[in-house]
Structure 1
Amino acid sequence: MSEVLLHYTRGGKVESVHRADVAVVDVTGKMVWEFGDGKRPMFWRSAAKPFQLLPFVEQGGVEKFKITEEEIAFMVSSHSGEAEHVALAHALLAKIGLTIEALACGPAKPMSSKMAKELMVQKQPFQVVHNACSGKHSGMLALAQMLQVAIAGYTELTHPVQQMMYQAVADSVRMQKETVETGIDGCGVPVFYLPLYNMALAYARLAKPEEGQWGQSEKSVRLIRDAMLAHPHVVAGTKRFDTVLMNVTKGRILAKIGSEAVYCLASVPDGLGVTFKIDDGSYRAVNPAGIAILKKLDLLSSAEYQTLVEQFPPVLKNHRGDVIGTVEATI
């Protein structure tokens, strides 16, 4: 059962709490730390993206379409819809002979409030390229084009693209495909339901591909990992925790958010995977939870920790900017 991880205080009194479950797994598959229920099953949401991209990379898509490292990072991103991300969407789709009309993720408000405001001021509609998952969908379309299968229905579980990704996810988490249940994600494609432990195991294997027993997939896994670490801003965006954390740790920690406050981390030198799920799905808890867990695991230097809390202060402010409360971890 989940346990209380964060206290939100006001006037020195606890006003709200966030419960969480955490799994920390090494590359051998050992659960090295657990908070709450580390084997709680949950939808992986967008934190599964690095592994959904594997079939495209393994099948030679990078070489066939001359995909750049930055474009690989875009295909696993949950981006903010900033100008850089929009440009990457157009460029990538052009390489595979398609346009944004092929994207079936649906238009969405950019995660970047600045970009959203600019569009509204210009009276421009939100488009599919502003959708945080347009990179993933571009990767799915790229795989369809490479396989020379119809792009119509590419979001359906029965489509060859989804079946290949489904198998890749199962292999990455070391589960039989039939034991990984599915649902529908916010962007209309299959999403995978599995234990937090297995999510963390996949990230441990991503952290150290050379020790992750990937077999022939090792080179592809390393390519995806290195692309994410080389282009943190593409993976998320300005002032986003994923991006800031990868920059602050200089690529030692890889980070990837998923909706409903599922979050995955990989400590590259340690071969550790970390997955946590905030019980109520609240995004406000993700940043302080991530920082607290990394501090608990001694995966941040004192300077890195200080930089992170400066950028994501564990305090509550009122509309005047006065500090009126704190965010305190229980671990």
Structure 2
Amino acid sequence: MDDIALAEVTRGGRVESLHHGRIAVMDDTGRVVRALGAIDKPIFPRSTVKALLALPLVETGAADRLGLADAELALACASHGGEIRHAETAASMLAKAGQGLTCLECGAHWPTYDAAAHALAATGAQPTALHNNCSGKHAGLICLSIDQSLDPAGYIDPGHEAQRQVTEALVMATSVPHNETNRGLDGCSMPTYAIPLAALATGFARFGTGRNFSSGHASAAARLRSAVASDPFMVAGSGRFDTTLMAHFGNRIFCKMGAEGVMVASLPDLGLGVAIKTDDGANRAAEVALAALLLDLGALLWNDTDREVLAGLAHQVMKNWNGREVGTLRAAGKG
């Protein structure tokens, strides 16, 4: 099946650009609810699976024994913008594990949120690994390692015991193999595994309902969803799609953007999971496509304010540097 147009950019009343891709909507049994494009084709989920990787941190009791707060659990699921609170929360997680900055193996980069990068540069300081958008995920792996009396060094390697546990969580959720045959290397040096888009969507249906999870993992998923709902800023940051969507919907929707135009969502009340992949890796296209899809899927659930929020995310006005409207970014065919 050919991939379809997911989003379009307009200018002067004409479609200027098109973003193509695929969408899988699955229930927690693995049944296809909606398929647009080649949903059985493997993709690298990238950062979309961070909440699944955080399951062992909670399920083993490590989070409780180390006294991790909701904000810290939310950061473990995050691709954050490197704002002050993000970096401070990552540092707090490490401190609770008795570790410091040098334990992080994700590498350093400037905050992806421009205002945070400018503010840091104005102080004359350089970014550290705490500003890496994946620092919360890495801090979570370090916390898991320390709690289980493991040497955290090399926690990013597939053979490390903590890495083995989080990979098993991915297999449990998606019901597909994660091994050397489909392994790649993510931007933060953690493994990422190519799996069918349909399997990724199934995993997030189960993240919302607990199906196919042990009772401990199901409770961990519920706690992580609650932590994210209570502090969605930690998962992304200022002005981000994920933050806006989850700040409004709370526990009703979990969503997570990943690199190269991968997006997932969990809809616990409907027992559904969504996975989107854009062919050109455009995150903006995945975002508007998800908003439009949610408008449709939750038609009987959403109130007027819900629909207004989703409509605004699915059809965004684009302005130039003078603040003048130049066009729109919208779900394809929704003009």
The Cα offsets for residues 212-244 of structure 1, whole Å up to 9 and x where unpaired, read as: 131232222222222122221111111211111
Aligned to 2:293: 293
Instruction: Give aligned-pair identity as a percent.
Output: 33
Aligned to 2:212: 213
The Cα offsets for residues 171-219 of structure 1, whole Å up to 9 and x where unpaired, read as: 111123448721110001111210111111111111122xx13123222
Aligned to 1:62: 63
Asked if structure 1 preserves the Cα contact closer than 8 Å seen for 2:289 and 2:314, the reply is no
Aligned to 1:239: 239
What pairs up with 1:181-330 in 2 under 5 angstroms?
Answer: 181-209=182-210, 212-216=211-215, 217-298=217-298, 300-310=302-312, 314-330=316-332
Count of residue correspondences: 329
Please tell me the residue identity of whatever aligns with 1:8.
Answer: V
Shift of 1:96: 0.4
Please tell me the residue identity of whatever aligns with 2:325.
Answer: V
Taking the aligned partners of 1:319 and 1:82, their CA distance within structure 2 comes to 24
Aligned to 1:94: 95
Range moving further from structure 2, 145-154 or 270-279: 145-154
Asked if structure 2 preserves the Cα contact closer than 8 Å seen for 1:180 and 1:193, the reply is no
TM-score, length of structure 2 as denominator length: 0.92
Please tell me the residue identity of whatever aligns with 1:214.
Answer: F
Structure 2: segments with no counterpart, 5+ residues: none
Aligned to 1:41: 42
Aligned to 1:6: 7
The Cα offsets for residues 262-301 of structure 1, whole Å up to 9 and x where unpaired, read as: 0001112111101101110112323322212212323554
Pick closer, same or farther for the CA change 1:213–1:180 going to 2, 3 Å.
Answer: farther
Please tell me the residue identity of whatever aligns with 1:291.
Answer: A
Please tell me the residue identity of whatever aligns with 1:314.
Answer: Q
Asked if structure 1 preserves the Cα contact closer than 8 Å seen for 2:3 and 2:38, the reply is yes
Taking the aligned partners of 2:332 and 2:70, their CA distance within structure 1 comes to 39
Q: Tell me the SS of whatever aligns to 2:194.
A: strand
The Cα offsets for residues 113-161 of structure 1, whole Å up to 9 and x where unpaired, read as: 1111101122221111111100000011112112222222221112212
Quick check: 1:166 aligned with 2:174? Answer: no
Range moving further from structure 2, 175-184 or 91-100: 175-184
Pick closer, same or farther for the CA change 1:312–1:3 going to 2, 3 Å.
Answer: closer
Pick closer, same or farther for the CA change 1:228–1:164 going to 2, 3 Å.
Answer: same
Taking the aligned partners of 2:240 and 2:175, their CA distance within structure 1 comes to 30
Q: CA RMSD in A?
A: 1.9
Taking the aligned partners of 1:326 and 1:40, their CA distance within structure 2 comes to 30
Taking the aligned partners of 1:23 and 1:158, their CA distance within structure 2 comes to 31
Shift of 1:89: 1.1
Taking the aligned partners of 1:188 and 1:96, their CA distance within structure 2 comes to 21
Please tell me the residue identity of whatever aligns with 1:59.
Answer: T
Please tell me the residue identity of whatever aligns with 2:70.
Answer: E
Please tell me the residue identity of whatever aligns with 2:198.
Answer: Y
Aligned to 2:112: 111
Asked if structure 2 preserves the Cα contact closer than 8 Å seen for 1:170 and 1:180, the reply is no
Asked if structure 2 preserves the Cα contact closer than 8 Å seen for 1:23 and 1:38, the reply is yes
Please tell me the residue identity of whatever aligns with 2:240.
Answer: R
Please tell me the residue identity of whatever aligns with 1:329.
Answer: A
Shift of 1:313: 5.3
Q: Tell me the SS of whatever aligns to 2:260.
A: coil
Taking the aligned partners of 2:121 and 2:313, their CA distance within structure 1 comes to 27
What pairs up with 1:16-35 in 2 under 5 angstroms?
Answer: 16-35=17-36
Please tell me the residue identity of whatever aligns with 2:75.
Answer: F
